[in-house]
A and B are shown apart, each in its own frame.
Chain A
Amino acid sequence: MTDTSLNEIAAHQHAAAAETPKMTARGVSVYYGDKKAIDDVSIDVDRENVTAFIGPSGCGKSTFLRTLNRMNDTIPSARVEGAIALDGEDIYASSMDVVQLRARVGMVFQKPNPFPKSIYENVAYGPRIHGLAANKTEMDQIVERSLKRAGLWEEVKDRLAESGTALSGGQQQRLCIARAIAVDPEVILMDEPCSALDPIATAKIEELIHELRGRYAIVIVTHNMQQAARVSQRTAFFHLGVLVEYGETSEIFTNPKATRTKDYITGRYG
């Protein structure tokens, strides 16, 4: 075989890989005790797109997001049924190490929650516990690269030793994104990352999401419909624990198929 044909095969495989979903959920139900919070949700998370979960408060979108990296494990009464796979690998299988899973599927929370440590330590903590840096130089590189990708480097490069909690809200949230990026995840879950931020900080985060797209599969929960329209390529609409509609963002916002979606998008409720 010639080199060209090998390259062609590789390119073909790459294209095929790009088409297979990064994460798949099939028939997922979540219970809190006896209460069913999520009912039979099946969804694919694209590899190179941003997926937005929208819906009114209490519709289960955050709960579902937290099943994707098993953060619900920490709630004793929570129970998950159905199958969720990361690259075809069942994440609820007993062979799946939850600590590694959470490194591969990173998370950014609603309220910025930097550790009360220095900016450097905030970013370096993840790589350190997973042993990703062999020495100080490598760690310095990881920290710099992560902060640069999170668009925070220029603002903090001269004060890496200062406490992460001393930053502004928007900077703290970008620090949290840098912290998630530092362990080199495959998927980043964002749970209403802008709900505690002002419009300017929000715009910066949205810009950042655009830049991170393609490198990481991104899932963002938001109840700001404009934000979903701006940052995502695919949108899922949740209502009362049920996935009502899932499709191309442009499609959902301009031509929703279900009446409930239409009513929500036009502002009848929510």
Chain B
Amino acid sequence: MSDAPLTDPTPTNWGNPAMQRRLRRRYSAERNFRLLGLAAILLSAGFLAFLLVSMMANGIRGFSQTELRLEVDFPRSSLFLDPAALRGFGADQALANADFERAIAEAAVARYGANGAALFSESGRLRVRDAVREDPSILNRNAVLWLPAATEIDIAAKSRGSLQAERLYRQLADAGRVRTGLNWSFLTGADSTDPTQVGIWGAFKGSLLTMIVTLLIAFPIGVLSAVYLEEYAPRNRWTDMIEVSVNNLAAVPSIIFGLLGLAVFLNSWHLPRSAPIVGGLTLALMTMPVIVIAGRNAIKSVPPSIRDAALGIGASRIQVVFHHVLPLALPGILTGTIIGMARALGETAPLLMIGMRAFISAPPGGFSDPATALPVQIFLWSDEVSRGFVEKTSAAIIVLLVFLLAMNGLAIYLRNKFERRW
């Protein structure tokens, strides 16, 4: 303190220019900050829109298929199939033995010339088989069928193909022999070497089974760990160490989990290779720490007064946890679970390590069948040489995103439902 006597200060002049300047600066700082935030939001929305639009533009074609008209004169073809054989028990056997491919080739050569057979995709035989199974009477007449075009024609129809294919396509289109149909086999089939025959269902089902295993393992273990650590465990060096380990585990690169899965589940436990159960177990290891961390935070945020209230009327510890704490923490736990599951759904690296990158041409029948998963399938198709796979890759990405959206939607629905109860 100085020795000078304290004088009464002059009254503050709120109108002086320095004060006004400060005020203006404050307002402009506020405005700038708001604009910055808006710009950040717009930028991320722009990236998202770009992703969606480009994926849609490429991928939507993957769901359609160019079809060519073909008249098959069954009575005169070399297809020796008796309509009578298609009734009763022997029907499947008869259909499996019939050489539809040859019948198509003959009809194509007859209609489109010597190279006609090359216009059609191999998958046409399945189309013909299904048509015959549905209505055996067409075997007695000259039937008109729309069959999937070969890859080159399909590419020429959808974008730019080779010069030859483009010319061919234009001729066919001008003759009114081309139409675009929904590619059902893409939604119901599995992987194939021919881009016109590939389907996403195999990978989708593989992902679905894998996610079910992941959820069934990671959710209960994660939630129970979180409850134990928050509500029961004493605070000491051991629990500190566990906490640090769990946090580190959540940050471990996913490929390491893949190696762990390979070493433990395949080499030690001898579980089947490439199976959803192994994929699910591996991804569960990866998802669990995320659920533990989110669960602990959610449990921590339940007010202590609720615990006091329940303890105060004689509830036991387990009753406090299951009647009061967990229901209140559930929305938070679900949010964390979904974040973990979404990450697991998009994970490729660990699945490569445990063999889920194999070429699987049939959808998996169960948890121990060989399967692949959506992100792995995308990775595999994006690596293919044939141009027909480009649009299939984008289409698979759309399927993956739809799966992800459905999962998130379910989580938000569940969260709101549980929040409303209180």
Instruction: Report whether A71 and B309 are in contact in the complex, using a CB–CB cutoff of 8 Å.
Output: no
Chain B residues lying within 8 Å of A114, measured Cβ to Cβ, are 309
The minimal Cβ–Cβ distance linking B57 to chain A, given in whole angstroms, is 48
A109 touches B422 (CB 8 A): no
Q: Which residues of A contact B303 (CB under 8 A)?
A: 113
| A129-B319, A163-B422 as given contacts; A115 in contact with B309, CB under 8 Å | yes
Question: Are A129 and B311 within 8 A (Cβ)?
Answer: no
A102 contacts B308, CB within 8 Å?
no
Q: Does A47 contact B (CB under 8 A)?
A: no
Question: How big is chain A's contact interface, by range?
Answer: 20 to 34
Query: Which chain A residues in 108-135 approach chain B with CB under 8 Å?
Result: 108-109, 111, 113-117, 125-126, 129-130
Return the chain A residue nearest B308 by Cβ: A109
* Given contact pairs A76-B234, A125-B323, A113 touches B313 in the complex (Cβ within 8 A): no
Interfacial chain A residues near B323, Cβ < 8 Å: 125, 129
B309 adjacent to A176 (CB under 8 Å):
yes
Closest CB in chain B relative to A141 CB, distance in Å: 18
With A and B bound together, what is the CA distance between A130 and B316 in angstroms? Answer: 10
Q: Mark A220-245, 1 if CB is under 8 A from B, else 0.
A: 00000000000000000000000000
Give how many A-B residue pairs fall within 8 Å (CB-CB): 68
A69–B313 Cα distance when bound, in Å, is 10
Closest to A110 in B: B305
Partner of A69, one of B307, B310, B312, B328: B312
CB-CB < 8 A to B324: which residues of A?
Answer: 115
Rounded to whole angstroms, the CA-CA distance of A106 and B303 in the bound complex is: 20
Tell me the complex Cα distance, A100–B311, Å: 11
Closest to B324 in A: A115
Cβ contacts A76-106/B at 8 Å (1 or 0 each): 1000000000000000000000011111001
Given known contacts A115-B324, A117-B422, A129 and B315 CB-to-CB distance under 8 angstroms: yes
Asked if A179 is an interface residue, CB under 8 A from chain B, the answer is yes
Is there contact, CB below 8 Å, between A106 and B312?
yes
Q: Is B235 an interface residue (CB 8 A)?
A: yes
Q: Is the interface of B mostly helix, strand, loop or mixed?
A: helix
Q: Are B311 and A109 interface neighbours, CB within 8 A?
A: no
A52 within 8 A of partner (CB): no
Chain B, range 280-332, C-beta contacts under 8 Å to A:
303, 305-316, 319, 323-324, 328
Residues of B within 8 A of A113 (CB): 303, 305-306, 308-309
Residues facing A in B351-386 (CB within 8 A) are none
B315 pairs with A99, CB closer than 8 A: yes
Judge whether B235 and A76 touch: CB under 8 Å: yes
Which residues of B have CB within 8 Å of A74? Answer: 307-308, 311
Q: B234, B311, B313, B328: which has the most chain A beta carbons within 10 Å?
A: B313
- Shortest distance from the beta carbon of B34 to any chain A beta carbon, whole Å: 35
Binding site for A on B (CB under 8 A): 234-235, 303, 305-316, 319, 323-324, 328, 422
Beyond A129-B315, A180-B313, 4 additional pairs, beta carbon < 8 A:
A99-B314, A113-B309, A129-B314, A180-B312
Chain A interface residues toward B at CB < 8 A: 69, 71, 74, 76, 99-103, 106-109, 111, 113-117, 125-126, 129-130, 163, 176, 179-180, 182-183
